[in-house]
Amino acid sequence: MSLQAVILVGGKGTRLQPLTAERPKPIVSLVDRPFMAYMLEWVASHGITDVIMCCGFLPDALQEVLGDGSRYGVELTWVIEPDPRGTAGALKMAEQHITGRFVMLNGDVLTDIDLSAQLRQHESTGATGTLGLVPVDDPTAYGLVRLGDDLRVTGFLEKPEPSEIDTDLISAGVYVLEPRVLGMIPPDRMVSIEREVWPLLVDDGLYGCRHGSAYWMDIGTPERYLEGTADILAGRVRTRVAERLAAGAVDPSATVASDLDVSPEALVDAGARIGTGVRIGAGSVIGRNVTIADDVTIENAVILEGAQIASGVRLDRCVVGQGAEIGANVRVAGAAMVGDGAVIGAGNTLDHGMRVMPRAEISADAIRF
């Protein structure tokens, strides 16, 4: 019987608004495909094709975009939470579909962890649960996992003081579990697997698997969204986007001026139209059917499908939503985000993480922030 994956995608992704104001985070575009596509392609690359999606926020939108999963090499089964159930409560709702040992995944992360290696370790230790663990530079910002010499989990530290830190390992949201874990979860209520289930398994078959060289990032904030985009384009995380970029940064169907200056670590997608004197730096994505006028500079910025950028615009570490309009000589920088269909009049400066909600309109020369 083939191994299954259960992916938790119940959250609203509020930290990524306005991108998530009207769509669930798993289908926010990341480079050239929905964010969730990366996780589905990753599990498929490790031989897991039977995937159960546990979702709560706007499930119809998820199903419309991801479909049956076949384009990503998997077959999807959908489980919909009637109300928020927490990480273990959502898993409990999928119990009827789970047929044996399975992988549970937090749907908020971009990673290329060696899942096959974690599965092999789980098998060799006879574990009930194996937590995928990654090291972090600043352990004070996370809950930490303590491991014994035999790779058994010995305890947890929740956002410790510096004097308490004796490990740099955090949970990557990648778990290999035996079915008996499901029997430890009470039904029909909010249950946290981190707070209510893992402590029961300490000294009872809970192990950790170190993934020291793997890429791992929670794409939960504008800064991390932009960093993840740049890492995908630069190949710092292994994804199928690399196959596309091998053919060049500019899609053959895009119409671009002969003097276009574009980094090899950028993407100009199908149907884009770009004027003269345009520079597109590393980490930048020009989405499908985007129009860019003359004398525009773009650096580590994402412009989503159908947006229109007027002449003289400067975009630096920012996101422009689908169908948005950016007027002449506007500057958007500092992880600012412009929502879908918003209209930014000429001469404005949006900086310092400013967020413009979908379809908002800002008149010319109104903001210098």
**Are residues 225 and 290 located together in one domain of the fold?**
no
Instruction: Read off the CATH number of the domain in which 271 is found.
Output: 2.160.10.10
Q: What pTM, to 2 d.p., does this model score?
A: 0.93
Distance CA 131, CA 353 (A): 34
Instruction: Read off the CATH number of the domain in which 37 is found.
Output: 3.90.550.10
Q: Is 215 strand, coil or helix?
A: coil
Domain presence at residue 145 = yes
Domain presence at residue 243 = no
**Are residues 137 and 212 located together in one domain of the fold?**
yes
CA neighbours within 13 Å on the CB side: how many for 236? 14
Domain presence at residue 241 = no
Q: Which residues, 6 or more positions from 80, have their beta carbon under 8 angstroms from its beta carbon? A: 55, 56, 59
Distance CA 122, CA 16 (A): 35
Contact between 274 and 256 under an 8 Å Cβ cutoff? The reply is yes
Q: Domain residues for 288? A: 248-362
Written as tens digits, the pLDDT of the chain (369 aa) is 579 999 998 777 788 999 998 888 899 999 999 999 999 999 999 999 999 999 877 788 899 999 999 999 999 999 988 888 888 999 999 999 999 999 999 998 999 999 999 999 999 999 999 999 999 888 777 788 999 989 999 988 887 777 778 888 989 999 999 999 999 999 888 899 998 999 999 989 999 999 988 999 988 899 999 999 999 999 999 999 998 999 899 999 999 999 999 999 999 999 999 999 999 999 999 999 999 999 999 999 999 999 999 999 999 999 999 999 999 999 999 999 999 999 999 999 999 999 999 999 999 999 987
Domain presence at residue 367 = no
Contact between 268 and 254 under an 8 Å Cβ cutoff? The reply is yes
Number of domains in the chain: 2
**Are residues 165 and 218 located together in one domain of the fold?**
yes
143 alpha carbon, distance to own chain's centre: 20
Domain presence at residue 242 = no
Identity of the residue numbered 127: A
Nearest-Å Rg of the Cα atoms of the chain is 22
